[in-house]
Amino acid sequence: MSLTEPYDVVAIGGAVIGSSVAYYLAADPDFSGKVLVVEKDPSYQRCASALSAAGIRQQYSSAINIQISLYGIEFLRRIGETLGVDGDRPDIQLHEGGYLFLATEENRSILEENHALQTKLGADILFLEPLGLVERFPWLSVEGLSAACWGRTGEGWFDGYGLMQAFRRKARALGVPIGQLQRPASNGRATVSRRYCWTTGRASLAAPSSTPLVPAAQRSRVPPASTYQSITRSA
């Protein structure tokens, strides 16, 4: 991996977010820039992506979260064909077991409100009265419960580490170098974005506005850099 040639986009951190940004850019026919991913720990043993419980649910109270998750479950269902490389299809063991949210009488109206929004947006969530709850979950005591919501499809769990590796592998297959810096990128010079950029903690990622996983509201425009942009190792 060359660290002296210019790149249009650098993802600092190559776990699930960095690798998926790289994949989406590399797979976008309207994007012709060069993408690089740098990762300080190639073992990935302590990153959130490796430690994650890797659950996915549709039961949120805001429309944007529900829409992101509806996109997410469709993506996970099609991952074999989308992220396959040379006929080798990743299998992330997606199991749509559902999340179960319970409410007392006091909280019932919140559950009803959320359920109305979720189903309006297309999520497959069942609203259950205590009797229906007992029928589906006979081991559950419904004492003190007024209602429940259960994700019939679209919610469950999967192999999160496998998802990260699938994104990495596909991004690499599409020509994105994923490499390691001698030191964390924050100690070196890694100014690359002339498009859009957002920051989480110490790491900065950059992507065009068409990148679908990040809502527009979370991106901020950065001014074009006036000087030659490249990545260099720190001294």
Nearer to ligand FAD, 63 or 116 (CB): 63
Stretch that binds ligand FAD, among 24-32, 134-142, 178-186, 218-226 (CB under 6 A): 178-186
Nearer to ligand FAD, 41 or 124 (CB): 41
Residues 6 or more apart whose CB falls under 8 angstroms from that of 212 comprise 24, 71
E-state strands within 124-195: 125-128, 147-151, 156-157, 178-179, 189-190
Q: How far is the CB of 135 from ligand FAD (least distance, A)?
A: 28
Nearer to ligand FAD, 180 or 209 (CB): 180
Q: How far is the CB of 202 from ligand FAD (least distance, A)?
A: 5
- Other CB atoms within a 10 A radius of the CB of residue 211 amount to 20
Distance in angstroms (rounded) separating the CA atoms of residues 233 and 231: 7
Which residue minimizes CB distance to ligand FAD? 13
Nearer to ligand FAD, 147 or 231 (CB): 231
Query: What character string, x for contact with ligand FAD (CB under 6 A) and - otherwise, covers 30-69?
Result: --------xxxx--x--xxx-xxxxx--------------
Rg of the chain over CA atoms, in angstroms? 21
> Could you tell me which of 2, 120, 146, 15 has the C-alpha nearest to residue 67?
120
Distance in angstroms (rounded) separating the CA atoms of residues 189 and 198: 17
Nearer to ligand FAD, 44 or 137 (CB): 44
Nearer to ligand FAD, 27 or 50 (CB): 50
Q: Is residue 151 involved in binding ligand FAD (CB under 6 A)? A: no
Nearer to ligand FAD, 41 or 112 (CB): 41
Judged by CB under 6 A, the residue of 21, 166, 185, 214 near ligand FAD is: 185
Q: How far is the CB of 220 from ligand FAD (least distance, A)?
A: 17
Distance in angstroms (rounded) separating the CA atoms of residues 94 and 82: 15
Q: Which amino acid is at 149?
A: C
E-state strands within the chain: 9-12, 35-38, 55-56, 100-103, 125-128, 147-151, 156-157, 178-179, 189-190, 196-200, 203-206, 220-221, 231-232
Distance in angstroms (rounded) separating the CA atoms of residues 12 and 14: 7
Judged by CB under 6 A, the residue of 162, 177, 179, 184 near ligand FAD is: 184
Instruction: Enumerate binding residues for ligand FAD (CB under 6 A).
Output: 12-13, 15-18, 38-41, 44, 47-49, 51-55, 184-186, 202-203
